[in-house]
């Protein structure tokens, strides 16, 4: 198996660490009280115990994170209610992304701990990443750049509308 090194991803992790060495606040805890309709944040859906937010440093268009509101790092510490809502919101996210973006597949998962690749390891979050056939190309490998073709605010507006539409239809 060949390995494709992606050192540019470490810039995100390192930049987050350097920004927050003096500031011990958690970006996910700060987003708990954010208003979905506000343009000042990337939160797209508010559940009872869990919310959905766009990734500020997306791997692909529509890269969302499903996040428990409670500050918890370990999967084992999640309650049954939190896990049930995480699963429900992952399903809702997939449904919304299929209708808006028409991806060919998804990567879904969580990185538990720094060693597993978590950029923010103190607050568990689950990635829902739409994928398309051919969405990898020479740009990251040769140009050390990943092309994200849609503005985050536009993605947010489309997702908020779709989540509301899906909920109105009880999907």
Q: What is the CA radius of gyration of the chain?
A: 16
Q: Does an H or E element contain 67, and which? A: strand 64-68
Determine whether 71 is an active site residue: no
DSSP string, 126-161: EEEEEE-TT---HHHHHHS-----S-HHHHHHHHHH
Q: Provide the CB-side half-sphere exposure for 134 (13 A, CA).
A: 0
DSSP state, 36? T
Spatial separation of the C-alpha atoms in residues 152 and 168, rounded to whole Å: 24
Q: Which residue reads 């507006």 in tokens?
A: 157
Catalytic residue among 63, 123, 125, 127: 125
Residues recognised as catalytic: 125
């Amino acid at each position: 198996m060949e390995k494709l090194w992606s050192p540019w991803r470490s810039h995100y992790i390192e930049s987050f660490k350097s920004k927050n060495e003096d500031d011990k606040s958690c970006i996910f805890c700060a987003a708990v009280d954010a208003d979905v309709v506000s343009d000042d944040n990337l939160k797209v859906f508010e559940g009872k115990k869990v919310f959905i937010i766009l990734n500020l440093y997306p791997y692909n268009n529509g890269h969302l994170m499903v996040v428990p509101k409670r500050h918890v790092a370990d999967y084992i510490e999640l309650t049954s209610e939190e896990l049930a809502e995480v699963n429900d919101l992952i399903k809702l996210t997939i449904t919304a992304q299929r209708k808006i973006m028409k991806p060919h597949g998804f990567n879904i998962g969580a990185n538990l701990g720094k060693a597993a690749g978590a950029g923010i390891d103190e607050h568990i979050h689950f990635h829902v990443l739409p994928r398309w056939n051919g969405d990898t190309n020479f740009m990251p490998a040769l140009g050390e750049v990943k092309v994200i073709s849609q503005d985050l605010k536009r993605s947010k507006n489309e997702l908020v509308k779709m989540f509301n539409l899906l909920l109105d239809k009880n999907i």
